[in-house]
Amino acid sequence: DAYAVIGFPFATVAAAFAKPANWCETLILHLNVQYCRSGTSDGRPQISAAVGKKTNQPLDDMHRINFVYKVVVSSADYTRVELSSREGPLGTGNYLIALELTALDEQRAFMHIQYSYTQGFLARCATSVYFSTSGRNKVGFTWIHHEDDPPYLVRGVRGALERNTMRYYLALDAYLRALGSPAEQRFEQSIEGWFAGTERFARQLREVKHDDYITMKRGQYLRQQAVL
């Protein structure tokens, strides 16, 4: 979970994320989301995302997650939008990305982001290997306190969930900050804003260099516009 008071009017944010296509403009900012397309499945809005490594990959080499998109509640001062998927890669499932928004005043809103999933046997094996090798030094945001030890930042699966939750929050924030610009400038502003946001939390979120991220996302965005 991530909570924030944001400097945007409730109506602006609620309207922006009431459209599935705008979620794809947002999710593509995440380092591991390399493709996103909105559509329908069985008459219901759907968002299909391709997730992979932190470097460019062909679409066939990535994992697809098909999210059901749903506006659960929509009122004059509160909204909840959910992206959910029963199945994911490597035996993961029950994915949920949820946005809750409450109006505070004319210029501010309170935002709550939820991100969660469950792991099967294969996923637990894969994450165990990852956290004992290349992911062993990665940390999240929660400080762990024990009486006899100095406090330390959480690691493991909880740390990974916290990092991804923050990446999604920063994507929402970057997309909103770019809305006031001309349409042809918004994506460039969004990717610059997302990278700058992650640099504020470099201990947890720094993975690639600025120019590598910008070049990669430009190419992925062009592919997203062209490939169905």
User: How confident is the model at residue 136, as a pLDDT?
Assistant: 84
Residue 161's CB is within 10 A of a number of other CB atoms, namely: 16
pLDDT in tens, 166-204: 999 999 999 999 999 999 999 999 999 999 999 999 999
Q: What contacts 24+ positions apart, CB below 8 Å, involve 134-143?
A: 135/160, 138/163, 138/204, 139/203, 139/204, 140/204, 141/166, 141/201, 141/204
Instruction: Give the burial class of 191: count Cβ atoms within 10 A of its Cβ; 0-12 exposed, 13-18 middle, 19 or more buried.
Output: buried
Per-residue model confidence (pLDDT) at position 36: 96
33-41 and 143-146 beta bridge pairing: unpaired
* Residues facing residue 99 across a β-bridge: 81, 113
pLDDT at 127 (0 to 100): 81
Q: What's the confidence (pLDDT) of residue 131?
A: 79
pLDDT for the residue numbered 132? 81
Q: Identify the pLDDT of residue 211.
A: 97
**Residue 116 contacts residue 96 (beta carbons within 8 Å):** yes
Q: What pLDDT is stored for residue 12 in this prediction?
A: 95
pTM: 0.92
Alpha-carbon torsion 197, 124, 89, 216, what sign? Answer: positive
Q: For residue 188, what pLDDT is reported?
A: 97
User: Token pair of 130, please?
Assistant: 């990852």
Determine the angle formed by the axes of helices 183-199 and 210-226, rounding to 10 degrees. 140
Hey, is 74 helix, strand or coil?
Answer: strand
What pLDDT is recorded for position 195?
A: 98
Residues of the chain with pLDDT under 70: none
Token pair, residue 171, equals 């994507």
User: What's the burial of 206, exposed, middle or buried (CB within 10 Å: 0-12/13-18/19+)?
Assistant: exposed
Question: What is 92-138 written as a DSSP string?
Answer: -EEEEEEEEEEE-SSS-EEEEEEEEEE--HHHHHHHHHHHHTTTTT-
Query: What's the CA gap between 69 and 122, in Å, rounded?
Result: 27
Nearest to 134 by CA among 62, 53, 74, 196: 53
